[in-house]
Structure 1
Amino acid sequence: MRPSGRAIDALRPVFIQPGFAHHAEGSALIRMGGTEVLCAATVETRVPSFLRGKGQGWVTAEYGMLPRATHSRGQREAARGKQTGRTQEIQRLIARALRAVVDLKALGEISVTVDCDVLNADGGTRCAAITGAWVALRLALEKLVRDGTLPALPIKGQVAAISCGLTDDGPVLDLDYREDSTASADANFVLTADGGIVEIQGTAEKDPFTEAQFNTLMRLARTGTAELFRIQTAIVEEALKA
C-alpha cells in the first residue's frame, strides 16, 4: 500500500477553482493533494520584439514558489537578485506546453503570460502548474472571443501533465513528496488530449530503469492525464456557464 493509501493508478484528489485571481483575464487555483498552485493569465496587446510585424502572438509563463510553500523557508528569488536554474527550467516547460496547443497565428499580435505561483508544495508542482495553466489560458482566450477581440478561439487542443515513478510499491501515478523523495526513478509526462506528447522528463535516481518499466509509466501517465482532461473540461464548461 502506498503511504497515502492510494491505488498505484490513482491520482491525488484534484480540485480546480476558476476565477480565483479576480483581476486576471483568466485564472485557476489548482490543488492536487497537498500541492496548490495559483495560475493567472494576463493578456497584452503587444508581442516580444522578435515577433513585431509578423502577425503572430506569443504565450509564455513564469513560475515561482512562496517562501513557505515547502517544509522550511526558501529565500525569495527576488532577494537573491536572480532566478534559480530550476525555476527557469520549469517556467520554460510550462510555456512550451501551452504554446503546443495554441494557434499563435490565429492569436494575432497578442501576448498571454501565465504566472504560476506555488502556494503549497507536496510534489508535482510543475505538473499541477501546467494543468492549471491550461485552464487559466483557456478562460483568458475565451474572454477575448466574447469581447470581440478575436473572431474565434485560437486553441488547438488540451494539455495536462502528471508525474509517475518507480517506488518500493512498484510503478505509481502522481507522486507526492514522500514518494518522490525516495523513488528509484521518476518522470514527468506532458501530454495532449488527442494523444500527443509535448515533453517527457525521466530520471533514474539509482539503477537505470528498463524500457518495459518506462512503458508502464507511460500507460499510467495516459490514465492520469485522461482524468485531468475530464476535470479541466468540466471546470471550463462550468466557468463559461457562470
Structure 2
Amino acid sequence: MTPSTSKTPVRQDRDALTPRAVHVVRGVNPHAPGSAHLKMGRTEILATVTLEDKPAPHMRGSKEGWLTAEYAMLPRATSDRQARERNLQNGRRHEIQRLLGRALRASMDLRHFRNQTLYVDCDVLVADGGTRVASVLAGHAALHDFCDRLIHSGKLSEWPVVHNVGAISVGLVGEELRVDLDYAEDKVARADLNVIATSDGKLIEVQGGAELGPITVDEYMRLLNAGVTAVGDVMQELSRQLAVIQGI
C-alpha cells in the first residue's frame, strides 16, 4: 500500500535528492566551551559541549575519556505545546541520545580527554522533521567549536576530531526517493532511514525501515546509497561554514 498521490507533498524549493539548506553559527553560548546553533530548513538545534574533569564510572583506569549526549525538545518546538520532558524514562529521547552518543564518539579521538567526560547537549528549538539527524550535525559543529578553542588557547596541541560525522534522513514518498524529509514528507513516507556516516562515505549507523508494508532489498539499498551521498554533500557545506565562522 502506498499513500495516495493527492496526499503526497510536492517539493517547491528543491529536487528529490537535494538536502535542505544548512546554516550554522558557532560560539553562540558564552557560558559553554563549545556551542553551535544549526538550522536545517525550518528545523533548529542548539548544541553545547561541557567538559568535566571526572571519568565516567565505566572508564576509570582507561586510556580514553568518554563522550555522552543528551537530547530534549522544547515545549513549543512543534505546532502544539508539548510538556517538558521530566520523565527520565522517555523511550524516544533515550533512543536518540544513544544514537547521538555513538555518532559523536565515532568522530573523536578520546585519548586526548583521558579521565574526563564530554557532555554534548542538543536541544530542539524548532522541529520540522529530521531532528535527530540535525542534532548529529549540530553536535559535530559544537565539538568543532570546542576543539578549535582548545587549540587556539594552547590547551591542546593535536586536533582530536578524527572523522567528520554527519547524518541525513532518506525516504520513499509514494514511489519517489527523497533526501532529508521534512515533517510533511516524513509522516506519509512508506519507508524512511536515518543514515549516520562519515564525510568520506563510511557508515556508522542506520536506523529505520518500512512504514506501510515491506520494501525490496533494491529499494533499501537505493535509500542507503542516497543517504551516504547526501551526508557527504551536507558535510562539505558544513565544513566550509565551520572553517569560516570562528567565533573565537
Same-fold status (TM-score > 0.5): yes
Q: 1:20 & 1:36 partners in 2: Cα distance?
A: 13
In the TM superposition, residue 55 of structure 1 has moved relative to its aligned partner by 3.0
1:43-71 CA-partner distances (Å, limit 9, x unpaired): 22221122223232111110000011112
SS of residue in 2 equivalent to 1:77: coil
In the TM superposition, what are the counterparts of 1:38-117 in structure 2 within 5 Å?
Answer: 38-78=46-86, 81-117=87-123
1:125-174 CA-partner distances (Å, limit 9, x unpaired): 00000011101012112222332332312221110000000012511100
In the TM superposition, residue 207 of structure 1 has moved relative to its aligned partner by 1.5
Gaps of 5+ in 1: none
1:2-59 CA-partner distances (Å, limit 9, x unpaired): 5232211011121111112222111111111111111111122221122223232111
Number of the residue aligned with 2:134: 128
1:174-210 CA-partner distances (Å, limit 9, x unpaired): 0000000000000000000122111001211111111
In the TM superposition, what are the counterparts of 1:173-212 in structure 2 within 5 Å?
Answer: 173-212=179-218
Q: 1:234 & 1:178 partners in 2: Cα distance?
A: 29
CA contact (8 A) 1:2 1:8 kept: no
Q: 1:125 & 1:64 partners in 2: Cα distance?
A: 10
Number of the residue aligned with 2:4: none
Q: 1:212 & 1:125 partners in 2: Cα distance?
A: 27
Q: 2:79 & 2:131 partners in 1: Cα distance?
A: 14
Number of the residue aligned with 1:28: 36
Number of the residue aligned with 2:16: 8
% of aligned pairs identical?
40
Q: 1:7 & 1:83 partners in 2: Cα distance?
A: 39
Q: 1:76 & 1:181 partners in 2: Cα distance?
A: 23
Q: Choose from 215, 222, 235 the match for 2:228.
A: 222
Q: Report the residue type matching 1:8 in the other structure.
A: A
TM-score between both structures, scaled by the size of structure 1: 0.93
Number of the residue aligned with 1:141: 147
TM-score between both structures, scaled by the size of structure 2: 0.91
Q: 1:8 to 1:58 in 2, by over 3 A?
A: same
Answering whether residue 160 of structure 2 is matched by residue 154 of structure 1, we say yes
Q: 2:67 & 2:148 partners in 1: Cα distance?
A: 15
CA contact (8 A) 1:77 1:83 kept: no
CA contact (8 A) 1:36 1:118 kept: yes
Between 1:143-152 and 1:120-129, the stretch displaced more is 143-152
RMSD of Structure 2 on Structure 1 (CA):
1.7
Q: 1:107 & 1:91 partners in 2: Cα distance?
A: 21
CA contact (8 A) 2:129 2:186 kept: yes
Number of the residue aligned with 2:219: 213
Q: 1:153 to 1:110 in 2, by over 3 A?
A: farther
Q: 1:68 & 1:83 partners in 2: Cα distance?
A: 21
Task: Write out the 4+ residue segments of structure 1 that deviate beyond 6 Å after TM superposition.
Answer: none
SS of residue in 2 equivalent to 1:9: coil
Q: 1:83 & 1:235 partners in 2: Cα distance?
A: 36
What is the aligned length?
A: 240
